[in-house]
Structure 1
């Protein structure tokens, strides 16, 4: 970057940079983000009649393309540039552009504090870099999120370089496995790694004399004579395959062999999914708007994990010993449950054999608050005591410790951190959606937002749990480190300020192998391709068609004058980020879209008196105003009610019957479940370019990615697609099919559960054979918990106690 700045400063292009800085500074603003910077530079190039190459290929053009922030101070201008993914540099340019120098993250954070007039010379600095300095680290940014593959390669290299030590450690790891007091895999008859290698040969010789489908029970005693306990397989062929994998791993280790072998090791039986704040229920509840997607995710994940574990236990030959998986969704018990089962302590998860919802109540403090549902922004004062109470309940249910703790969202991850530290159990974090990058400048202006959102507590909790976790599951690569144009969600925690509270100089190592990309799946019993007529209920189709197109109801606004037009369908909750009003405005500004399409919105509400916060109320009113402004009556339907999952699945298919399209127009979306549902149902889907949908659609031409800030450009993309469908009638069907197959093959729960368990086993194995000294890091996290998080949570509690 130094060479690039030098080229700008020493050449004719310095004038262009000076003019851009002058134009931005003249606006009176002092802080500019990437989109504003690019637009200002584009305007300059246009007004100055620069040749086309200048915008992208000139030295100053390249500098501007890399620039994500510009901050103005009296004596200087700050450029925050990102020359590569997961890499940020800070440069300070003198006001007269006669000099420039690279600055430290600390200096940048001070400048940001001065920007909001909240600078203080001495402030707590949080720096995690020393704890990751000697840890394993991925080198290539393209491999970020592939921690499992990296660990497998590393472990195999260690097996090759120091085979005697590593075979002994492998032996010890296997020797320690047991479940419910029953030894698994190895007994004391095998005394060392060398002895294990010898006994494997004898066992394989024995197994080769048996029929491949010979049940394990028939030769169990023979294997036990050789020192092999249950868990290798349910048939002679399966046991032989597993032992051959171990044999090959000892003598010629390869990553693929290690991955396959570890997947077969019966190391996980008891799993806890922590999801604290939502209405975690199954009958007509499924969360509130702010947590609906998470509740569905956790329920489907529990079903899938239990099913996958049951299959693994069966293949290991352990089901005949009475072993079975036990999965618990840990959430809070809500006494005033509004007609749901959320006041039920224990509830079986439907369509499972041994997965349960365990609800633990909050300590009362003020029953007027704790007996009711509590927003995710207000839940923080109760989590520590909840974790302590939950520990006792979990031990009572399992009659032992769990093997794996999976946190969900910021609050669930913090509870998982507390439980993991106390119970010494592998901790997995799943964020779903981190609040910090969703709310622009939320850290910079945290004091102004504290009464409503309590971001100081939440962002501290995020730092604690993400650094303490053994591994982190993300749904997309961009969730970690974004794209060349955007900052990733976890990347936003790398360096930031909470003015007058602390500076985060280095908050997370994005190159750590703890990050693993494991996207969720779709319930294919509910969401499937519209052409599968044999699986569809004709009565349900008629009912849903009536709901979307013709039914009159107080919860439905608008009628359709010409139902033969293609429907544009959208499903989401009413928030400014989800941007339903933006899509309505895009539709309203395009006469061509109105002539060819109808717009159908499905949300959970449409009346102002249903809004639970100011943002919802403003968006509902804004949507009505947009409909009036563009005279959309007769062209739009707004269904404002929550419908059951089976009706929702049919809604996508009914729209597909009319060769409609689906549009997800959020300003930002980490990973939208509705995109998966629409695509697998066969709906050609257009989705926001800001977030994980780029990876879901994976359309190289980007014809299905839209910019929610460019209404005209979005309308043009949709119209271009419709033109192709008109000139080539098969085009709609071709897109429908490849989108559906994309989800079916890449985003399914079997793959998700298999990968998650594989990662959990590998990290448990890694922590045993080559434990990193994380105690200092974890103590640091405990210090943040007790010295920053807890005092602020206790202040919230005092307000709650006062009613």
Structure 2
């Protein structure tokens, strides 16, 4: 079997593909069949590796296979999304053969865009990129809204289905993908005009009206661009808008009167005494993230893999470092490996605090281990920093660094497994807009420490349902974590008390059912108010529209200007 070093001298991955498939045809066919049986549409390396582990029982045979051509290809290719045309293993196999033959005939410098449409016809789609959390959040939101709408319609004795459309523009901005969840329709609009939010809103609005055969009753905006488009759409159609909540001290007070230089001066802006928000907080999927005490629901089939993930002393592509004392509780943190998420911060806090190191181990799930595998400069810098910190504080035997994990079912059982060890979850971000991992950990009954900068400050009641920490004061934060573990060691009920407090907080405010109920109630009320007070703010709205058309849109149409300065000799 060819070695990896030999493979690196190969002209391209295309050259190695036929030989790799020939060497592992039987195993890959079984692997793909199991993959599709589980309804997965996005082929991810960790999932493929899990399936391969089940298909190939012999560990030596599996290692030998992954050290050859197939392993090299898996480590040097990108994520692939397959569409609904590839419904069986045989169809997938056929499409792979056709795609491989087509790629072999192309020059190596051929851009992806030139054969993208042909790939779509064969069932292959471009991956989602680094948007996993956003995709999970929006899909969970859709499911919750649909369930609540179906329940309300049934309670009123009607036999109709709700229509929910999800409008999304990919990163390159060149087309708009609209998913019609009630009937699973998928429509793609190719439009260079959609690069601009205003044009995107016009194109999307026209398609929504065509699909729904009328106006929607409620629009929900998610994230910055989504909120802007949703606001424009709601204003044009005259319907109720629900947007992502965002606030910071003094934000609204500073806009009671303000000036935009060379544009206009606002003398009567936001009235700080008006009610600003009716907050409906999202949650986590409770069919996946449930308390560790619910033994009958536990996903025990993941336990061998989780134990290997946490405690194996062998470094590989999925984990490095090891835990010498397995009986110690675990400090657990999981996030992207960037400066804001501050994974290197929690590592340094732990390294500096001897009391904390004596009480527990540290496990972090984040990014890659090898800077050369990352394409992001910030992540590369954080990877190097992590290695330096591990060496500086001599953390070997006390830290486990696990590569980014994407299987939410295994992740949920990982939270619960750590809760079994009386551990805790730490979210040390410099700023966190919401904090989905905080909600997930609390749902699993894992006591949680989270940043006091952003959304977690509202989720957690300090000392009751969890703990808030200051990311700018690592010494104080690490001492707070150490105090918790010391108290839990002296009094087992203290850990149980915080765990129960976190669950109570979740059930009180942070479930998708509560979210959907609040959003629909408020949407109904505000829609009714619109009919009663139709003319009340119409003059002000027209004035704002005038400013938007005459000033804002003109500014938004300006493209970036590149200035090149010649260096003087």
| TM-score under structure 1 length normalisation | 0.50
Partner of 1:615: 378
1:743–1:609 distance in 2 versus 1, CA, 3 Å:
same
Partner of 1:658: 421
Partner of 1:411: 225
Superimposed CA distance per residue, residues 733-767 of structure 1 (whole angstroms, 9 cap, x where no aligned partner)? 22212212321232111111111111111111111
Matches of 2:321 and 2:445, distance apart in 1: 26
Matches of 2:537 and 2:411, distance apart in 1: 46
Matches of 1:700 and 1:505, distance apart in 2: 43
Partner of 1:669: 432
State whether structure 2 residue 391 is matched by structure 1 residue 391.
no
Assess if the C-alpha contact under 8 Å between 2:361 and 2:398 holds in 1: yes
Matches of 2:555 and 2:257, distance apart in 1: 22
Deviation at 1:587, TM superposition (A): 0.6
1:496–1:559 distance in 2 versus 1, CA, 3 Å:
farther
After TM superposition, the structure 1 = structure 2 runs for residues 118-133 of structure 1, keeping only pairs within 5 Å, are: none
Which sits farther off after the overlay, 544-553 or 687-696?
544-553
Superimposed CA distance per residue, residues 232-261 of structure 1 (whole angstroms, 9 cap, x where no aligned partner)? xxxxxxxxxxxxxxxxxxxxxxxxxxxxxx
Partner of 2:491: 728
Partner of 2:332: 569
SS at the partner of 2:557? helix
Partner of 1:293: 133
Matches of 1:630 and 1:710, distance apart in 2: 19
Matches of 1:420 and 1:735, distance apart in 2: 42
Q: Rg larger in 1 or in 2?
A: 1
After TM superposition, the structure 1 = structure 2 runs for residues 760-779 of structure 1, keeping only pairs within 5 Å, are: 760-771=523-534, 773-779=536-542
After TM superposition, the structure 1 = structure 2 runs for residues 553-632 of structure 1, keeping only pairs within 5 Å, are: 553-632=316-395
1:541–1:401 distance in 2 versus 1, CA, 3 Å:
same
1:399–1:517 distance in 2 versus 1, CA, 3 Å:
same
1:284–1:580 distance in 2 versus 1, CA, 3 Å:
farther
Superimposed CA distance per residue, residues 477-518 of structure 1 (whole angstroms, 9 cap, x where no aligned partner)? xx43x5xxxx26666766777777777777644443352111
After TM superposition, the structure 1 = structure 2 runs for residues 6-17 of structure 1, keeping only pairs within 5 Å, are: none
1:344–1:789 distance in 2 versus 1, CA, 3 Å:
closer
Assess if the C-alpha contact under 8 Å between 2:176 and 2:204 holds in 1: no
Assess if the C-alpha contact under 8 Å between 1:328 and 1:355 holds in 2: no
1:495–1:533 distance in 2 versus 1, CA, 3 Å:
farther
SS at the partner of 1:568? strand
Partner of 1:58: none
Partner of 2:277: 515
State whether structure 2 residue 164 is matched by structure 1 residue 327.
yes
Residue in structure 2 matching 1:316, options 141, 153, 156: 156
Residue in structure 2 matching 1:304, options 138, 144, 152: 144
State whether structure 2 residue 191 is matched by structure 1 residue 428.
no
Matches of 2:429 and 2:259, distance apart in 1: 27
Matches of 1:496 and 1:554, distance apart in 2: 54
Deviation at 1:670, TM superposition (A): 2.9
Deviation at 1:402, TM superposition (A): 0.8
SS at the partner of 1:642? coil
1:334–1:715 distance in 2 versus 1, CA, 3 Å:
closer
Residue in structure 1 matching 2:291, options 519, 529, 532: 529
Matches of 1:615 and 1:778, distance apart in 2: 42
Superimposed CA distance per residue, residues 526-552 of structure 1 (whole angstroms, 9 cap, x where no aligned partner)? 101112121112221221232233264
SS at the partner of 1:730? helix
After TM superposition, the structure 1 = structure 2 runs for residues 780-791 of structure 1, keeping only pairs within 5 Å, are: 780-791=543-554
Which sits farther off after the overlay, 589-598 or 508-517?
508-517
Assess if the C-alpha contact under 8 Å between 1:496 and 1:504 holds in 2: yes
Assess if the C-alpha contact under 8 Å between 1:360 and 1:390 holds in 2: no
Deviation at 1:588, TM superposition (A): 1.0
Matches of 2:356 and 2:293, distance apart in 1: 26
Assess if the C-alpha contact under 8 Å between 1:303 and 1:355 holds in 2: no
* Aligned length in residues: 438
1:288–1:603 distance in 2 versus 1, CA, 3 Å:
farther
Unmatched segments (≥5 aa) in structure 1: 1-282, 338-342, 366-379, 431-473
Deviation at 1:334, TM superposition (A): 7.7
Deviation at 1:571, TM superposition (A): 1.1
SS at the partner of 2:164? strand
Deviation at 1:590, TM superposition (A): 0.7
Matches of 1:357 and 1:508, distance apart in 2: 41
1:345–1:428 distance in 2 versus 1, CA, 3 Å:
closer
Matches of 1:776 and 1:558, distance apart in 2: 65
Matches of 1:641 and 1:684, distance apart in 2: 22
Matches of 2:369 and 2:261, distance apart in 1: 38
Assess if the C-alpha contact under 8 Å between 1:331 and 1:357 holds in 2: no
Partner of 2:15: none
SS at the partner of 2:540? helix
Residue in structure 2 matching 1:648, options 379, 388, 411: 411
1:382–1:358 distance in 2 versus 1, CA, 3 Å:
farther
Assess if the C-alpha contact under 8 Å between 1:662 and 1:678 holds in 2: yes
Deviation at 1:784, TM superposition (A): 4.4
Assess if the C-alpha contact under 8 Å between 2:167 and 2:179 holds in 1: no
Unmatched segments (≥5 aa) in structure 2: 1-123, 563-569
SS at the partner of 2:323? coil
